[in-house]
Chains A and B, each alone.
Chain A
Amino acid sequence: MKDDLYRRAGISDLAEFYRTKFVSDEVLDARYFRALDRFDMRFARTMWVYDNVRAGATLLDLGCGAGVLALLKRKGVTLAGVDLSAECALASRRNGYDVTCAAELTRLPFDDASFDYVVSLDVLGHVGFDEKDAVLAEIRRVLRPGGVTLHGIECTDRRTQKSYEEMTAEELRRFVAVDGHIGLEEEQEHAARFRRFFSHVAWEPRYALCLSSEEFIKQSDEYGLPFESDFVEYLRGLTFAERRAFDMAMGYVFGKISDLHVRLPKSGLYVLVKASDAPLGSFYNEHRDRSALFTSGTNDALADAALHSDSTAPVGAARSFCLDRAAEFDDGWYEPNVLPPVARWMKSRGRVRFNAPSLSALRLDLTTHIPDLTTRPLGLELLLNGQRLCALSLFRHGWLSLLTEVPEELATAGDYELEIRADRTWQPRPADTGNRDDRELSIAVCNVEAYL
């Protein structure tokens, strides 16, 4: 049945299909996570898992994709991932998962009772009806006694959506080709299925109210959900910054609905399921502790360690520590991308705040993809605590290693703010309807190093 649906949709290589759908250059590594992104609608499901997993536990992520649960490393969780695609498994590994592998969900390559938690997000809707029970049996097998399984599952609403049998060949092809959904059931059907394997099951319909702007457009365009057309057109016209603001607002409301335990009506879109053989705690915040999300001040410890240890000091050079994963990057920076290396794109102005007992020099690698650089060089200016360190013009592409000395009067300030200003920006693909990128970019920066 499963293979038949995929075949009828024209999908012959499942691993390749899911690789193209779910692997991106997005960096999900927990060390790069900004606390503010906990409100981003894109991380709403991640935060639900984050708030329900005990610190230091072991967790298996089924269908790990690019590694959307990497944030749980902030809580010291040991992360294992399984995916049909080897490339997805590798991407998760790069994003901080401790162990990943490519495997079928019906034959998990782990011993019995290996994990405290088994989680899947956007996976069970991709599992065929004839395999769902086998997957749940495997989940039960690898869960430790008292372990909890958490799932975010795509749903359908048979009152408004056709079943697979009712779809024409073309409708089925288009439907499955969007995301590969071949096992959509209604919310209560998912819950009933879990009840056959676990004695305690809780479920909440979600996404009836809050969707990201991208998801609104996708549900309207690809699945034909009847949102108001002028609203969808409005969303389509939003800039990157406006879309992010919209997603943050939606994520904020999503979080508050969870915090207030507001029961939403059946959505026909998505359900969160929590199940265990042991009695369940709070559905949303059983182990809520978000303090680790705000530990960007680890540069104190790094600086301190660099100061007291010879192991990190390059031979013949001052001791240093890296700010990429430790300092606080303000809103002048976009989230990191895998260029490679992992780097942050800057808007026209970006600030980096950090602490250091002393500071003798700053070093960083930067590049730009801005066009017409030879005819119109990009002007850059570096300031430290408002005092100009240097100014330069970029007139060629490629990576530039920039080392600048810190003036004596700033050497022992303690709190530092490095500011970089660019005299212009560009948008990579502002008019590309299929893959629009209207971010205002200037330079990409990484390996920001503070020398003590």
Chain B
Amino acid sequence: MVDYEVESTLREIRERVIAGSARAGVIARRTPGESADVPGVDSPSAAAPSATDGEGVEALSRLRANLATTERAWSRLPPVVSYRRGAVARVELWLKRQIKRAAHWFTWEQVNFNSAAHSALADAHSALAAHERALEELRDLLRRQQAEAESNAARFSELRARLDAFESRLGSAEAHVNQTLTQLASDMRQFVEQLREERRAGTEQLRAERREYLDALADALRDEARDRVEYALEEQRVCFKQLSLEASEAAVAQDRARRRIEARIEALERTKAVTSDK
């Protein structure tokens, strides 16, 4: 049992030595301007994983290893042993047992102290681990923000370049527009003048055409009126002709009636004459 404990203690010492040499190697590889004391703060390289990060992790590992030791050994006391032999050894062991019994209060205080130290170390480990995680998150956030800032800076540079290009083109376009407007104003003046001329000519032409149209319309109306008058006259002629023919028929009928009456009168007179002769 004792051998086992000694062996594990030695292993811990070896691991500590190896971890210490590794940390020394990392520090040696750093550039001279880099600060190892304030990792990740106001440093352009803060976003990158620093040696301090590793150191913090390493320290926590060591602390966890020590905690394993304290957890295991805080209530253990060394055994009562003697390197002597025989009676001397027995006396020595007896004395040591007596001393152990007499110093029990001190041993007990040591055990309490060990326990308190172990608990304190465990709490410190938890706090440091939490702090380490928070730091790691902050570092990640910082890295992201830094990447975003770099991206924004690049985007800003690009936008700036484009804005400069636009301003340049706008300037040339404004100049072109001004030139075009000037040209258009000139053309417009010419066009308006030309329109005035055309309007004058068109008005004259329309007046002439209107005169011609009105003359033609008047001629057409005269022709239509003449046609209608002619038609009305023809219709009148035909109606009067019809009346004339009806009047002739009436005259014929009257003449026939007159002749019939005269014939009857003659017949009556003849009858009267014959009667008077008789």
Contact = CB atoms under 8 A, between A and B. Distances in A.
A305 B237 contact: no
Interface string A272-310: 000000000000000000000000000001100110010
B241 interface: yes
A312 B238 contact: no
Contact of A399 (B227, B237, B253): B237
Contact of B256 (A301, A322, A324, A449): A301
Interface string B234-263: 110111011001101101110110000000
Given A398-B230, A399-B235, A305 B242 contact: no
A345 interface: no
B237 A321 contact: no
A399 B238 contact: yes
Contacts of A339: 235
A417 interface: no
Label chain B's interface by main secondary structure: helix
A340 to B, nearest CB: 6
B241 A447 contact: yes
Contact of A447 (B231, B238, B252, B256): B238
A322 B239 contact: no
A397 interface: yes
A113 B20 CA distance: 161
A324 B245 contact: yes
Contacts of A449: 245
B248 A397 contact: no
Given A301-B256, A321-B252, A365 B241 contact: yes
A325 B231 contact: no
Interface string A424-452: 00000000000000000000001101000
Interface string A111-136: 00000000000000000000000000
Given A341-B239, A446-B242, A398 B255 contact: no
Given A309-B252, A311-B252, A447 B245 contact: yes
Contact of B251 (A312, A324, A397): A312
A324 B241 CA distance: 12
A447 B242 contact: yes
A177 interface: no
Interface in A227-250: none
A342 interface: yes
A365 B245 CA distance: 12
B235 A340 contact: yes
Contact of B242 (A306, A320, A342): A342
Interface size class of chain A, counting residues whose CB lies under 8 Å from the partner chain: 20 to 34
A352 to B, nearest CB: 15
A326 B245 CA distance: 12
Given A365-B241, A398-B230, A449-B245, A305 B235 contact: no
A312 B248 contact: yes
A115 to B, nearest CB: 25
Contacts of B246: 322
B231 A321 contact: no
Interface in A319-336: 320-322, 324-326
A305 B235 CA distance: 28
B59 to A, nearest CB: 109
A399 B234 contact: yes
Given A305-B256, A311-B255, A397-B231, A322 B248 contact: yes
A398 B231 contact: yes
B252 A306 contact: yes
A322 B249 contact: yes
Contacts of A321: 248-249, 252
A401 B256 CA distance: 29
A365 B238 contact: yes
Interface centre among A301, A311, A339, A399 (most CB of B within 10 A): A399
Contacts of B252: 301-302, 305-306, 309, 311-312, 321
Contacts of B230: 398
B248 A341 contact: no
A351 B237 CA distance: 25
Contacts of B249: 302, 321-322, 325-326
Interface in A95-124: none
Contact of B245 (A305, A309, A322, A340): A322
Nearest to B242: A341
Contacts of B256: 301, 305
A5 B184 CA distance: 78
Nearest to A325: B249
B251 A341 contact: no
Contacts of B242: 324, 341-342, 446-447
Interface string B196-232: 0000000000000000000000000000000100110
B268 to A, nearest CB: 22
A364 B234 CA distance: 13
A309 B255 contact: yes
Given A301-B256, A447-B242, 13 more contacts: A301-B252, A302-B252, A305-B255, A309-B252, A312-B251, A312-B252, A321-B248, A326-B249, A341-B242, A342-B242, A399-B231, A401-B238, A447-B245
Interface of A: 301-302, 305-306, 309, 311-312, 320-322, 324-326, 339-342, 365, 397-399, 401, 446-447, 449
7 contacts: A302-B252, A305-B255, A306-B252, A312-B255, A398-B231, A401-B238, A447-B241
